[in-house]
Structures are given as structure tokens and as C-alpha cells.
Structure 1
Amino acid sequence: MPANDLTLLTDAARAAAETATRYIGGNLNVTQKPDDSPVTAADLAVNAVLSDMLRSARPHYGWLSEESPDDAARLDNEHTFIIDPIDGTRSFIAGEDTWAHSLAIARNGQITAAVVYLPLRDKLYSADLGRGSSLNGKPITVAAPTTLSDAHILTTKPNLDPHHWHGDVPDFRRSHRPSLAYRLSLVAEGAYDAMFTLRPSWEWDIAAGALILTEAGARVSDKTGADLRFNNPHPQVNGVVAGAEAVWAEVLSGLRS
């Protein structure tokens, strides 16, 4: 009997980890992409493993991956895989443990199954639409409501530049993680109150984390408050703001649109 979508993604994430970890300590053959972001032999090898495993299991699904040439044919598919083989490639190159495999399936623009896996931290986040989110098989939920001034938020320093905000820049505790998928997942498990990024965000970085967050009880939107839709012709969204509802709302109210 064929695996359901979430089981398929989970199995694929573990296969991706087996491939990626074989490159640790070896020659990564780092090159630069046209946007100056790095890509390694591990990124490409993981992408090949995932493409073979997922597309053979669901040949009628479209394909959108950071490390594959985009094919507009995906726009005609009801379902589409949205994949980041290694999210946090710079972290991977540096020998750190905060990189992740990010795997999602969109159906008509909505994410229906998602996995974010950090193999070196033994953290596997997953979500099935309407069935909640989990970390290593145990249910997770967002942090209890708090005010923005008391919040601990994942974001980068440039997002606190005054030109992004009405009036004074909010005063909250700030942290950062290199993997955007991991940032989203940390908020979903309640380790942080919110996260936001104001730059245009690639779908493969955020698709899996967006469902994990919403199924954990968070609000997730672009930086204007609009709902996120996926498998767009140009696969970017207008930033991301996510967190427990009260903090999410305060962040949005302070931002310049």
C-alpha cells in the first residue's frame, strides 16, 4: 500500500540526512550561484535523492526545489512538492548543526503535509493539514500569549532598522538561527514567541515551516498580514511574520507596509 504523503516526506527526509551527513568532513566542492548564495556537492546529492524518491512515488505531482531548474509545468499540477534539500547551507559548510531538510507538499496553493528535519540535532518536525504538528512524534504548540515587549523573537538585525517601523522600533529580546525553516519550527514548538523576516522569501525555505506553525496554533502571514499561498509562478512571498496571535498582531501593527 502506498505511503501517505506525510509518511513519504518523513522517509524522504531521513534518506536526505543519510546522504548529507556522508559529506561532513569531506570535500564539499562549494560553488556560488548567480545570487551569490553557496551550493555544495551535498546540496546537489540530496536534491537528486529526493527527486528520485519523491517523484517516483508521486509522478503526478509537480516539483519545485531550490536546487532544480524551475519548470512552469508545476503550475498545472494539483499537488506540488516544495523542497529545500539543505536549508542553511552556510551553516552546513561551517560544520554547525542548525541546517535542515525542508520538505512540503502544496495542493492548489495550500500546504497539506510538511517535514523539517535537523539530523545533527535529532529534531524532526512534521505536520499534516488538520491533524496538528509534532516534534519527534510528540505534539507541539506555540508559546502562551504575551506582549511584544516581553517576547523573545527570531529575526535578523536589519529587520530592526527604523525605516521598517512606525514610530519607535519595538523593544523585545532578539535571537537568530541561520535556517529559516528551523526558525519557523522553533516558534511552532513554543521555544520562541514569534519570528519575522521582511525580505522576499523563497517558498522552499518556508513552505514546510508554515504548515508546522499553523497546525501548532500560530498565525502566519506575509509582512502585510496577507495569507501565504504556495506554488506561485514566481516562487517567493512578501516576507513572513509568524507567532502566537497576540505577538503576531503587534508585529504587523508596528510595521510599515
Structure 2
Amino acid sequence: MPARDLTLLENAAREAGEIAMRYWRQDPQAWDKGGGAGPVSEADLAVNAYLETAFRAARPDYGWLSEESADEPSRLDAAHCFIIDPIDGTRAFLDGQEGFSHSLAITTGDRITAAVVHLPARGLTYTAVADGPALLNGQPIAPADHPIDGATVLAGKPSFDPAFWKNGVPGLRREFRPSLAWRLCLVAEGAFNATLSTRAAWEWDIAAGSLIAERAGCRATELSGRPLRFNRARPLSDGLVVAAPRLHGQMIAALSPIPSTGFPG
């Protein structure tokens, strides 16, 4: 089943990319969702409408959770559920940058079993299933092993607030990419050493990337080190730490046991 689901996700991701590229750098209509949720555009909604129609037709018994759809409590009773971010990195998309992605995942119970993160403007497609390798454009990927000193971490500025660290921020170097799903994949392929979010993270931002990172050889957990779980009633994780096992353990040990705060991001 995961292999069949992955094929479905891959085919849909390519079509989603074609839809998004018709709007990219064409000044699409956009507006703020309010409440700190950020912008949404007509491209997000067009991609979401396509994916929902295609996936519901192909897997009518699967649940549906998407950033751009009203939540349906019935998903909690489904054995499998789609978890979708139609365009992850909408701000970058609207700015004409290439670093936006389509994040598509399927759960079995509370675990991700098939995942695709597709960046159409860059021609990158990351994939994984629960019992297989993580791939980038069909080739296996693996993280880079690095100690905490000098590690390069993809994170927003709030994550480097000393309040989140037991003894101040370690000797980390901060980088940033607009799509959280892509950040997880960049760690999975060894381009960066870790991804960190001290803020709560929506499931649709991290579902696909977390499986890809894990199947590449990373550990992907909440700030506490607890495993990530998905298709929950409140679809938020308590922060995020993703890295190869040694660095992951060092980062968990260095972080303060302070609950994540603020809006997801």
C-alpha cells in the first residue's frame, strides 16, 4: 500500500507544480489569513482544490487534513489520512523566489507512511515510504554527521534566543530557507546539519519532510525528544528538532525544557 500511495503522491505533486508555476511570478491575488497565519494566494487555493479532488477520488476512505481546507473531525476516525500543504513557503512564492514546495503525506494511524516534497521551480522531488530509502530525484540521500560545535542549523531567528538553551546558544551557525518542508529535506540530503523550530509546527508543514528525514537516517522529534505523531485532533507538534542521531542528541541535551511558544513557523 505505501508504494501505491507514493505513486499517487508523486503524480499529484507534478500536476500541483504545473498549476503553481502558472501563477508564479504572474502577480497572483493574495491576502492575509489573519491571526498570525500568514498569507494565502489564489495559487494555494487552486493547488489545494486540485489535490483534494484528485485524492478524494483515488482514496475515498482516507481522511483529509490541509492547511487550506476547513478541518474535518471525521479524519480522526480514518485508518489513513492525507496531510497536505498545497504551497509551503507562500511568502517566497509571492516574492518570486524558487524555495517553495508542495508537501504531500499519508498517515497510517499516527505515523507517516508515504511522503513527497516537490519544488517545481527547482526541479527537485524528495520521496520516501516507511519501509524504503529517502530519495532525491530517484537517488538515495543521507544526512551529514556533525558535532554541535559549528553545525549549520536551518531555523528562524526566535530559535536562537538564549532563553531556549540551558547554557546559552551553542556554537551553531544559523541559515534559513522559506519552506519548512524543504528545510527537513535539506538536512536529509546533508546540505545542512539540522533543522530547529522552538515554535509549534503545523503537521502539514512537517509531515512529509519528517518521513523523508527519518528514512534518510535522521532523527525527527519534538523539542522534548518525543516522537512526532500525526493526524491528531490538534495538528501541532511541540517544536521540532531534525538532525543525524549524534547531533540530534546533543541539541536535545542543550535545549532548555521550556515549552514552545508563539505562532507556528
Distance in 1 between the 2:27 and 2:97 partners?
16
Residue 84 (structure 2) pairs with residue 111 (structure 1): no
Specify the alignment match of 2:61 in structure 1.
Answer: 60
Tell me how far 1:170 sits from its aligned partner.
Answer: 0.5
Tell me how far 1:207 sits from its aligned partner.
Answer: 0.1
Deviations 1:216-251 (CA, angstroms, capped at 9, x unpaired): 000110000000000000110101101001111111
Is the Cα–Cα contact under 8 Å of residues 83 and 203 in structure 2 kept in the other structure? yes
Tell me how far 1:29 sits from its aligned partner.
Answer: 1.2
Query: What is the one-letter code of the residue matched to 2:249?
Result: A
Deviations 1:167-212 (CA, angstroms, capped at 9, x unpaired): 1210122211010000000000011111110101000000000000
Distance in 2 between the 1:24 and 1:196 partners?
28
Distance in 1 between the 2:52 and 2:106 partners?
13
Segments of structure 2 that go 5 or more residues without pairing to the other structure are: 258-265
Distance in 2 between the 1:167 and 1:136 partners?
40
Tell me how far 1:25 sits from its aligned partner.
Answer: 3.0
Distance in 2 between the 1:87 and 1:104 partners?
13
Specify the alignment match of 1:196 in structure 2.
Answer: 196
TM-score scaled by structure 2? 0.94
Query: What is the one-letter code of the residue matched to 2:241?
Result: V
Residue 254 (structure 2) pairs with residue 250 (structure 1): no
Residue 121 (structure 2) pairs with residue 98 (structure 1): no
Specify the alignment match of 1:206 in structure 2.
Answer: 206
Residue 45 (structure 2) pairs with residue 44 (structure 1): yes
- Secondary structure (helix, strand or coil) at the match of 2:241 reads strand
Distance in 2 between the 1:96 and 1:55 partners?
31
- Secondary structure (helix, strand or coil) at the match of 2:61 reads coil
Segments of structure 1 that go 5 or more residues without pairing to the other structure are: none
- Secondary structure (helix, strand or coil) at the match of 2:65 reads strand
Distance in 2 between the 1:23 and 1:154 partners?
28
Residue 28 (structure 2) pairs with residue 18 (structure 1): no
Count of matched residue positions in the alignment of Structure 1 and Structure 2? 254
- Secondary structure (helix, strand or coil) at the match of 1:16 reads helix
Identity %: 49
Query: What is the one-letter code of the residue matched to 2:117?
Result: V
Distance in 2 between the 1:164 and 1:4 partners?
41
Deviations 1:61-91 (CA, angstroms, capped at 9, x unpaired): 0000000000000000000000000000000
Residue 127 (structure 2) pairs with residue 134 (structure 1): no
- Secondary structure (helix, strand or coil) at the match of 2:23 reads coil
Deviations 1:134-183 (CA, angstroms, capped at 9, x unpaired): 0000011111x221013111112211111111112101222110100000
Is the Cα–Cα contact under 8 Å of residues 158 and 198 in structure 2 kept in the other structure? no
Deviations 1:11-38 (CA, angstroms, capped at 9, x unpaired): 0000101111111233411111132410
Query: What is the one-letter code of the residue matched to 1:119?
Result: P
Specify the alignment match of 2:260 in structure 1.
Answer: none
- Secondary structure (helix, strand or coil) at the match of 1:142 reads coil
Specify the alignment match of 2:89 in structure 1.
Answer: 88
Specify the alignment match of 2:163 in structure 1.
Answer: 163
